[in-house]
A and B are shown apart, each in its own frame.
Chain A
């Protein structure tokens, strides 16, 4: 007769439980301590020169990235601001950095009150396991910072896109919301095919492939700029951007991509407010 044990209900492991609680208490205490001079953005020159002497707030800005990514050539990233700002103030700029990439600055986004909701997604290249940093600046100069570690198991530099490299600035794709009320934030998604050559990669013959990237993306509504992005080498091939617009009136939305050879692609769509 084997001796399998079944549970006896009355018993609880008292001493162990309180140990666990004590440990949880310590962890909470650690969280509540003021930030030491050891935040990832304090260790990155590019971020420091943006921040200057200002001490950013650490609540309100969130980066959403996978903890572990199996493909460093295209890591989905979302940055969200839902913190408190004074009446009339808004986030006008967000900078993204990858502290261990050959050139850490990933992108800079310029926003307007017509965004309605501060949430931007893109896909980025991460060379190795590292901290991704976001810094948001409000129109009145408030600063917010956040960072998130991402573990990369296959480097963004080694993986080439499967199949052929896309032609530059081909197949612009746009998805805009329909049936919005005036001032209601709606999701906009854009994608364009472009190799986003970093200037660091070698071809099969060992020659460096020259840098060739989309540098600027802008969106206007009835002629007024409502969203702009400065992109750098760490944005994945075929740049993807998702953001929000909260238009007050119907009109024409124009999307423009410009690459470093001066070429541009345009796409125009009609937006209807109900």
Chain B
């Protein structure tokens, strides 16, 4: 039985990784299990310098999900190189670094700074709904998406995954654009833009007014988008959006995902990722599946 998968020449021992921003850089979760059990750790967004994030409240629970307007708070690339890479390298897992920026040149700068570091892949976040400049503005326009990807690609000495937003009319159009810009893989979905109102104060609940919806509530939408993108482009897909258990993960694989990421589910169960790693193995054994390619994208 072979649970390993391959994306742009990088081999992962299993198809399970973490959704950026929901796992930090792994330190906290390493108190619960050996990070080496994961195919990869996808770290939270890294920017050129410290980003302090939005005002609070940044979190609102919603039915079967949550809204966040964290705004990509992170200590910046220097801190990341000094502290997080050496920490993660102690574990037998791949490192996917999520890159954020306000401008094309910021994206390029972070990528360049990290290109000679000991990491495995980049994930370009052009899909965060919580920052005013950059982020999602690049991800909702096919032309801009293609441009930023082709620029970043010039500096990326590691394979480049591009993370797509669901907040568009046709996600396949953006997927095609980033692939023609040079993306080696795509990951989807980032959060869906939403809001919550406090009826007592008669104000928007989140200080930032809007936030990104994630968790089980978004799963059917995410799954449909992974399916559509798989039909539209030839690069590998990292699927995510509400994945909480083995069944969810297998659905994404059958829709066409090569890897899957666990995000919000980590908050509801710190062991969600490793339970899914074990669950996939069990399913393969039970159904006599030798390699995940046998079920990947099997939905017509």
- Decide if A and B are genuine partners: no
Binding site for B on A (CB under 8 A): none
Binding site for A on B (CB under 8 A): none
